[in-house]
Structure formats: C-alpha cells, structure tokens
A and B are shown apart, each in its own frame.
Chain A
Amino acid sequence: MKKATAIVLGAVALPVLAAGVVALQMVRERAFPGREPAQQVLYVSSPAVLTRLALGFDDVVADLYWIRAIQYYGSTRLSPSADKSYALLYPLLDLTTSLDPNFNIAYEFGSFFLSEKPPGGPGRSDLAIRLLEKGITARPDRFQYPYDVGFVHYRDGDYAAAADWFERAAATSGAKKEGERADLWLKPLAASTRATGGDTRSARLMYEQLLNADAAWLRNDAQRRLKQLDAIDQIAELQRRVGEYERRFGDPPPSWRDLTQADYLQGVQLDSEGRPVDPEGYVYVLNPWWGDVTINPDSPLWPLPTENPA
C-alpha cells in the first residue's frame, strides 16, 4: 500500500471507528438501561496494608481516596435509595488520613458530615470525634481539630464538653499564632457555650468563623446554617407576636393576614401578600388551631436544627 493511500485510509477509518465505539456504547446503554454499576466496595480496608501498597506514593493514593470519599458521600446523599447509612464514609476518610495524616480538609469534612443526622449523614458523632482525635495526634499544634471536636459536641447538645474542647483549642500553639490569634475568639466562645449553651449566639459565632474557610462547601454550609439561625430567631419573634395576638383576642390568628391587619407584623420581612418570609423567601407556616409557627417544608432551610425531619 502506498504511503499516501495509507494516510487517507487512516484519516477516514479512524474517525469512523471512533464514532462507532461511542455509538455502540450509547446503543448498549439504551438497550440495557437497568444495568446498575457495581455496589461500592472497599477492597483494602487496612490503613497499614494500604500504606505499604502505596510504595511511597502515599500522598497521591490519599488524594484518590479523598476524591472517592467525596464521590461516595455525594452519590449516597443524592441516591433515591432509602439506605443512608454512609457505611463506607468513615473507612474512606480513615484511609485518606492514614496515608496523609496532614490532610486537613478530610478531618474537617469528616467531622462535619459523619456527625450530621440522616439523611445528610450517618449521625455518627463518635466516628467524627475518632477521626479528629487522629488529626490531633498528627498535628497537636493545630487549633482547628479540637475546635471541630467541640463543634461536634455542640451540635449534639453536650455544651459542657463543647466548652472544654473550645478551651483546649484556645490553648494550642496554633491558636496563639501571630496574625491568626484564634484564642481571642475561642475563649469567649468557650465561656458563652458553658454559660448559655444552646442559644443561637454561640452557634452564630462558630458559623461566622466558618465563612472564612477555604473550602467552598464549608462556606456554603455555614451560610445556610446562619440563615437557619436567622430563621430560628425570626420564628421565636413571630411566635411571641402570635402569643400577644392570642392574649388579646382569645384565639390564635387564623391567618397571617389577620396578624398583619391587627398590626402585629411591624418590622418583619413580608412578601407581596403581607406574609412573613424566611431568609430564603419562603412563607412561614402558621397553625391556625394551635398558633404554632414553623418553617415551610419547601424551604431550602428545612429542617431547622430544632426540628425533626421525620
């Protein structure tokens, strides 16, 4: 075959064959749509074995396990399946942090989502704390890990333990670092958590710190949590005004319109129809029989930390 003929043939055949491969893949997927990808399996579960198998490329293998942990968490959270046990989340993060004990974001991610109640996480605060304690052993100078342990305790309502960990975070050398001086806000946080644990002030202080986090998901989550805290404060205020209306008229207001007409919603953010809305613009739900005010289940802020999603 002449050289020119071979080149022409190659130029024609290669795109045709490449298109054929893509087309066949699409046809197969359309013909057999029910074929599910294999269930996620952790082939190597021992950090010690994996560290040896990495052959000096521990950091890259840690990165791969980190990406796998993220993909696993995301796919489980978005999956229509009722199983939200996130069984592989801790082992994946454990492997990641064993391969690279300085993998900061893995500890932060773990503390956040392992302790999150279902469906957003497995609700395993014990595992979140175990992961963070591993981080504390690897980097005792960092204030973030004891702070995150305190945060997990705070979310669980154990304010005394949370305050203890915030104090421990304030005592680390990292918290006293020039330019950072995290101890300046950690000490007041510990004091307010110990004194008035459960109020929204300390929670707000914690989430405001997270607005400066480097990971976008952490900042976004902090923003959402701050809006939820705003909603909790707004609901408390609306509840107070509904109570005043009930004391005056003997019954709770049948609708928001009645409360507006009685001039009880002064200074409250309202929609075009005069109904109070949450920070995302969704109208609060008023129970006309009991006078309870709750967040709209359609709101992205639902469920609030004070509510049971079930």
Chain B
Amino acid sequence: MRAIGLVALHVFRDSVRDKVLYSIVAFAVLLMAASYLIGQLTAGEDLKIIKDLGLAAMSLMGLFIAVFIGIGLIAREIDRRSIYAVLAKPVRRTELIVGKYLGLVGTLFVNLAVMAVAYYVILAYIGSTLSPAALKAAPAPAADPRLLLAVVMIGFELALVTAIALFWSTFSSSALLSAGLTVAMYVAGQFGADLKNFEQVVESPAAGMVGRGLYYLLPNFAAFDIKTEVVHALPVQPGYLVLTAVYALVYIALLLVASVVIFSRRDFK
C-alpha cells in the first residue's frame, strides 16, 4: 500500500510540475469572460448557458488531462527507460499500475474540486446580478447544490477515461496510437443508444447482435451525462446515480486488472 501511495504522490507531483493545474486558471478565465460576453450575445437564459459551459469545460479539460497524461503514464517511463530504475526498486508491477492510476485520478479530482469551487463562485456572482424576475423564472437557483451531482458524475467518467488511457499505455508503446484508441473508445461510448438499437436499422440479425454486444462491451459514457437534468432541475433517480457509479468502478477494476496482466507479461529487455 505504501508503494502505491508513493507512486501516486510522484504522479501527482509530476502532473503539477507539468503545469496541469494551469487548466484551472484557464477554466476560471474562460467562465469569467463567457459570463460577461454571454449577457451581450444571448436573449435570455444566461444562467443556463453559464451552467452548461462550466460543466462542459470541466468535462473537456478533464478529458484532455486524462487522455494526454494517461497515455504517457507507462509509455513515457518505457520511452525514457526510467522503467528499469523503477522496477529495480521494491515496487511490484501491480503497485506501479495502481499507483500511477490513483496519482492521475487524484490530480484530476483536485483539478475538478478547484474548478467546482470557481464555478460556484462565478454562479453566485451571476446570480447576484440577475433581476428578481429572471431568478424567479429560472428552474433552479444560480449556485444550485444539485450541480455537484453532475460534477461527481464527470469525476467518475474521467476516472474511467484515465483507466482506458492507462490500459492502452501498457499495451502499446506508441503514444499517438494510445491516444487515438482512447479517444475512439470515448467517442464509441457516446453512441450507446445507437449500438443498442442497431438491429432496428440493419437487416442482418448477426450485425444487430454485434451492435448489441458492443453496446454491453464498450464503456457507456452517455450514462454519465446528467448535465441536462441538473441544469434544468429535472429529477435524477438516486438509484440511477449509484448504479452508474458502481458500473464505473467495476469497469475501472476490469481495465486495471487487464493493464496489470498485460504489464506483468511485458518484457523490457
């Protein structure tokens, strides 16, 4: 456990050194600039648009970090040949994989938490500038605590993307290929509903079964998206959130086990 913690801490420090946390500044600047501009550009629903933009920016920035740092977690060690020095130490390959994963997920969660604080500060400020009529007409308060549900689901989504990136990183030595495969899985995971109903648009039953099989096999990223519901103050069942979170954890465990198996069998001679 200690080894996992040390590896995770090292990844976190490395990410900070790589200026990953600058994304928080970019996020805050983007939201502040947007909150000013949106008032000039739109004819109402400013609050909704700021809420959408903030959640999308958190998701997108996290996605970039998860993909582009995730794919380098193992591949970079192999590339720099620092993997020999690491494996010579009393660190098992399993501990290295899990530590690397937890380190990046920790970085992402710190990032997400700070962005959420900035998001709420900006929303509270915008809320204070709105007219009582606009606030009354809005489906939810400006700094609505329910928005945190969407942030938590973004967190689970990013944790899953990180696991995918790490998996491809242990599998392939090419960063470009790993990035491509991770992004491809993310994109495919957005088409869950289409894959599920594939049999309705193809004539071949076999093709329909393949589509349905892929639906169950590929990570269903669309399931994590509850942004619309929280922004419009629509109900989200607690059971749905719990099941989706458990789904993410099981999928992450699956990918980590697969990564450990592949990485354990790799020969670095």
Do residues A104 and B45 form an inter-chain contact, with CB atoms below 8 A?
yes
Q: How far is the CA of A66 from the CA of B191 in the complex (A)?
A: 24
Is the Cβ of B133 less than 8 Å from the Cβ of A57?
Answer: no
Q: Which of B108-142 contact A (CB under 8 A)?
A: 131, 133-134, 136-138
Residues of chain B lying within 8 A (CB to CB) of residue A71: 41
Chain B residue nearest in CB terms to A212 = B133
- Name the contact of B190 in the complex, choosing from A56, A63, A214, A215 (C-beta under 8 A): A56
Residue B12 is within 8 A (CB to CB) of chain A in the complex:
no
- Of B38, B44, B234, which one neighbours A215 at CB under 8 angstroms? B44
Known: A66-B42, A215-B44. A60 touches B190 (CB 8 A): no
Instruction: Classify chain A's interface size.
Output: 20 to 34
Quick check: A59 and B56 within 8 Å, CB to CB? yes
B234 touches A57 (CB 8 A): no
Complex contacts, A63 vs chain B, CB 8 Å: 42, 48-49, 52-53
Partner-binding segment picked from B19-27, B225-233, B252-260: B225-233
The answer to whether A66 and B45 have CB atoms under 8 Å apart is yes
User: B138 touching A214 by the CB < 8 A rule?
Assistant: yes
Within 8 A of B (CB), among A81-139: 100, 102-105, 109
Residue of B nearest to A101 (CB): B228
Q: Is the CB of A67 within 8 A of B42?
A: yes
Assembled-state Cα–Cα distance A60/B58 (Å): 12
Tell me the chain A residues, 40-93 only, with Cβ under 8 Å from chain B.
52, 55-60, 62-63, 66-67, 70-71
Partner of A214, one of B44, B49, B222, B231: B44
- Inter-chain contacts of B55 with A (CB < 8 A): 59
- B176 interfacial contact with A, CB 8 Å: no
Residue of A nearest to B194 (CB): A52
Contacts of B210 in A (CB 8 A): none
Any chain B CB within 8 A of the CB of A270? no
The smallest beta-carbon distance between B163 and chain A, in angstroms, is: 18
Complex: A60 Cα to B56 Cα, angstroms:
7
Contact across chains for A57 and B44 when beta carbons are under 8 A apart = no
Checking A58, A60, A70 against B41 with a beta-carbon cut-off of 8 angstroms, the contacting residue is: A70
Given A57-B56, A59-B52, A109 and B134 touching (CB < 8 A)?
no
**Residues of chain B lying within 8 A (CB to CB) of residue A216:** 43-44
Question: Is A23 among interface residues, defined by CB-CB distance under 8 A?
Answer: no
Given contacts A66-B42, A214-B136, 8 further A-B contacts (CB under 8 A): A52-B194, A56-B59, A56-B190, A59-B228, A66-B45, A103-B45, A109-B43, A213-B137
User: Can you offer 22 A-B residue contacts whose CB atoms are under 8 A?
Assistant: A52-B194, A55-B190, A56-B222, A57-B59, A58-B228, A59-B228, A63-B48, A63-B52, A66-B45, A67-B42, A70-B41, A70-B42, A70-B43, A71-B41, A102-B234, A103-B45, A105-B43, A212-B133, A214-B134, A214-B137, A216-B43, A217-B44
